[in-house]
Amino acid sequence: MDITYNVPVKDSKVSIRQVKLGNLILGGETSLPFMHKENKFNSKPLVALEIQTILPDKYSNILQEAWGNCINDAVLWAKKAEEKQADVLVVRFNIANCDNHEQEINKSKDQLRKILSMVSIPVIVIGSDREEIDIVLLPELAKVADKECSFGFVDEDNYKDIIPILKEYGHNVIARTPIDINLAKELNILITEMGFDPDKIIIDPNMGALGYGIDYAYSVIERIRLAAFDGDTMLNMPISTFIGIETWKTKEAKSENVPDEWGNIKTRAISWECITASSMITAGADLIVLYHPDSVLYLKKLIEKA
């Protein structure tokens, strides 16, 4: 006897908000990833490349080889990243100390002006991850950006200093909390209570790389998504995940003092980044931020075929 099985289709109560990144749309989906019959909006995750204005100590030789001499000039690096087929450019203004912060901030403003004039893809601006610097740096950068950008990271300690300027100049915000669904919702509520448009918020729940807490990050991102589809309008924002910075600091991506069966370090490091990224996409991330240009090509092929 032939049996016909109809795959059940679940209707979500609300869709993920659509945040504009230049001429691209982040979010909009009505289902978990790759549930094509349930997704009324044909949205796909965006793939970003991250560059940094100050090259960190012990920056991976593999990454230096991939990028070449342009990594010594943030403006040239930005243009090179656009050529690597990234959907979005992330620029991290990683000012290391406050001793000459006024001079460094002025330099950062000049770099951002030049980058925005040279690249055509959407730009995300990330601060130094030091509160005493970022409460000054991010508002100043927001003022000089002559087109809509996204700024991060805003958290529970600095949002009161940064949100008013982002609101005034029409930028998006990346709201970062530790890996916790309740804290993510709470920060979104605090931001919107200041009059900030919820359609300009991107959730960043923070995360860990493959082997370093990715399972917990996966479950929290998935829970945020399910809560959103069940009607929670303070959690139905697109989700960003900063894969590169988490991946390339792991032992597997940077150490050659490992057993032979671990294989070639370049293959291993790029694989670590790609596996971490594909996992976050499966969990529900809308934006993945990578370091290595080869990872971008792999992930874009994966997304197109899924």
From the list 67, 65, 38, the residue with the least C-alpha distance to 52 is: 67
Q: Which two three-digit tokens encode residue 183?
A: 């804290």
The domain containing residue 279 runs over which residues? 18-305
Q: Other CB atoms closer than 10 Å to residue 212's CB: what's the count?
A: 18
| Domain assignment of residue 85, yes or no | yes
Check residue 275 and give its pLDDT.
96
Check residue 98 and give its pLDDT.
60
- In this structure, of 7-11, 214-218, 245-249, 271-275, the range with the lowest mean pLDDT score is 7-11
Q: What angle do CA 122, 123, 127 make, to 5 degrees?
A: 160
CA distance 27 to 24: 10
| Domain assignment of residue 133, yes or no | yes
Check residue 99 and give its pLDDT.
66
Check residue 56 and give its pLDDT.
86
CATH of the domain at 144: 3.20.20.20
Query: pLDDT over 70 for what percent of the chain?
Result: 98
| Domain assignment of residue 299, yes or no | yes
| Domain assignment of residue 202, yes or no | yes
Rounded to 5, what percent of the chain is helix, strand, coil?
45, 15, 40
Q: Other CB atoms closer than 10 Å to residue 263's CB: what's the count?
A: 11
151 vs 306 pLDDT, higher one: 151
Check residue 257 and give its pLDDT.
80
Binning pLDDT at 50, 70 and 90, where does residue 33 land?
confident
DSSP single-letter state for residue 239: B
- In this structure, of 92-101, 126-135, 273-282, the range with the lowest mean pLDDT score is 92-101
Check residue 277 and give its pLDDT.
97
Three-state DSSP class for 273? helix
Three-state DSSP class for 134? helix
Query: pLDDT over 90 for what percent of the chain?
Result: 78
Residue 39 has pLDDT above 80, yes or no: no
**Total structural domains within the chain:** 1
Binning pLDDT at 50, 70 and 90, where does residue 37 land?
confident
Check residue 163 and give its pLDDT.
98
| Domain assignment of residue 6, yes or no | no
Check residue 255 and give its pLDDT.
84
Check residue 102 and give its pLDDT.
81
From the list 225, 251, 256, the residue with the least C-alpha distance to 239 is: 225
CB 77 within 8 A of CB 71: yes
Mean pLDDT of 242-256: 92
From the list 164, 161, 248, 259, the residue with the least C-alpha distance to 212 is: 248
CB 64 within 8 A of CB 276: no
Per the prediction, the chain carries an average pLDDT of: 93
Mean pLDDT of 21-43: 84
Check residue 57 and give its pLDDT.
84
Check residue 179 and give its pLDDT.
92
Q: Would you tell me the crossing angle of helices 159-169 and 131-144 to the nearest 10 degrees?
A: 10
Residue 1 has pLDDT above 90, yes or no: no
Whether residue 153 is preceded by a cis peptide bond, meaning omega within 30 degrees of 0, is yes
CB 208 within 8 A of CB 220: no
Interval 255-291: pLDDT, tens: 888 888 888 999 999 999 999 999 999 999 999 999 9
Q: Which two three-digit tokens encode residue 173?
A: 């915000």
| Domain assignment of residue 198, yes or no | yes
Interval 59-88: pLDDT, tens: 999 999 999 999 999 999 999 999 999 999
Predicted TM-score (pTM) of the model is 0.94
Three-state DSSP class for 15? coil
Q: Give the DSSP letter string of 104-120.
A: HHHHHHHHHHHHHHH--
CB 305 within 8 A of CB 259: no
Three-state DSSP class for 152? strand
76: left (phi over 0), alpha (psi -120 to 50) or beta: alpha
What's the Cα-to-Cα distance from 101 to each of 27, 94, 158, 269, rounded to whole Å?
36, 11, 17, 34
Binning pLDDT at 50, 70 and 90, where does residue 245 land?
very high
Q: How many CA atoms lie within 13 A of 3 on its CB side?
A: 2
Binning pLDDT at 50, 70 and 90, where does residue 8 land?
confident
Q: How many CA atoms lie within 13 A of 46 on its CB side?
A: 28
| Domain assignment of residue 222, yes or no | yes
Binning pLDDT at 50, 70 and 90, where does residue 97 land?
low
CB 207 within 8 A of CB 245: no
| Domain assignment of residue 170, yes or no | yes
